[in-house]
A and B are shown apart, each in its own frame.
Chain A
């Protein structure tokens, strides 16, 4: 069991200086300083901006991606959207535990989880702008021509509403920082309503993302295709959310330890253990849930048939059963190291599962030369988006009271 020192309250800038930080973002010298301090990140930025210009002003989708009529959804959907939404599920799992089930030990994990979810969903929408042929028409399905019988309509509507809910839930961090406590106070009064909305909307769109693939029984390999895909996506999103909170908390502890209050440090291990217990139980259920369509639809023969069988076994044993066991062992022995390893494996497992469903085991009817492989520019955009999320998280955590209560308005919360 690790021991964290219960450090002093982190220093939060007074509101007057906060506006100075915001003004400094408009100065070129800030960015020149950034380039000097972070050359590799700057290189990723330059590459990302170059591909962005190519995507929107020069080459379009055809000049940027390997997408075609056979493969209209590529890595931007598989990674940025499907993985992004699943891994941002920490927002609803943590708020449900802390505010609906009223488990007090989770309270300190709420603000980092909401920030992760808010940034995750915001950049899912941002990444979608690259993928949609006419991005300025993104609001059309909701406001102009609602396709209410379409699963994609539900996903779009839910994501739009949930990003709004997350923005409101996150806003008190900003208004506390810049000295507008009245706004924070009003939002805090709506916390339970916002939390319930967040859970309902997450339940709907996490499962609907799986439902998108119900239309593809002839394209998706039988080991992954199942009428239970929506349920599998929803249940696995819970694991993804809890694992991501542990994973993100571990990294934050390493790099942002000075920003964490004594209360946060005290509760950190407790959050780890309870999420490990919950994740282990959910993974156990998910493991058997994945076997149900194999048994119920008589797909036993596929389990020992070629490379897809190997991929399925790797996913099931390496990224479902193993993290489930590691979480249980970590919880039993109160070993934070084992739990952190399990969380990394579970996060990777979600990526593997979403890639299998939407890419590796998808479009299996095509000839090998017709199969999709992402272009370098597509990969650059995905790396660019992840870098943006990390930088935004670091900026917000550095200046706002994410891992502590704001010292000026502690009594308001």
Chain B
């Protein structure tokens, strides 16, 4: 992509970075739900359930 002034490039790059971060945050919630979806309820005494 070509830009005629440095300001245009900065605006474009920043916008891309912000969109990426928003996508990452939304994906992170989905990933966490997927990862922990099958975890048992925290009512046992196993050491690892405290994490």
Chain A residues engaging chain B, CB cutoff 8 angstroms = 103-105, 270, 273-274, 277, 280-281, 284-285, 288, 291-292, 295-298, 300-301, 328, 331-333
Contact = CB atoms under 8 A, between A and B. Distances in A.
A319 to B, nearest CB: 18
B4 interface: no
Given A296-B13, A296-B14, A332-B37, A273 B48 contact: yes
Contacts, number: 60
A123 B50 CA distance: 37
A296 to B, nearest CB: 4
Contacts of B50: 103
A103 B47 CA distance: 7
Interface in B1-51: 1, 9, 12-14, 16-17, 19-21, 24, 27-28, 31-32, 34-38, 46-48, 50-51
Contact of B51 (A274, A280, A291, A333): A274
Nearest to A105: B47
16 contacts: A103-B47, A103-B50, A105-B46, A277-B36, A284-B27, A288-B20, A288-B24, A288-B27, A291-B24, A292-B17, A295-B19, A296-B16, A298-B12, A300-B16, A328-B34, A333-B38
A300 B48 contact: no
A332 B34 contact: yes
Contact of B17 (A270, A274, A280, A296): A296
Given A105-B48, A291-B20, 8 more contacts: A103-B47, A277-B35, A277-B36, A284-B31, A288-B20, A292-B20, A298-B1, A298-B13
Best-surrounded residue of B9, B27, B31, B37 (most CB of chain A within 10 A)? B31
Contact of B1 (A104, A274, A300, A333): A300
Contacts of A300: 1, 16
Contacts of A298: 1, 9, 12-13, 16
A90 B51 CA distance: 19
Report the 9 A-B pairs with minimum CB-CB distance, sorted nearest first.
Answer: A295-B16, A105-B47, A288-B24, A296-B17, A104-B47, A295-B17, A298-B13, A295-B20, A332-B38
A126 to B, nearest CB: 37
A333 B39 CA distance: 10
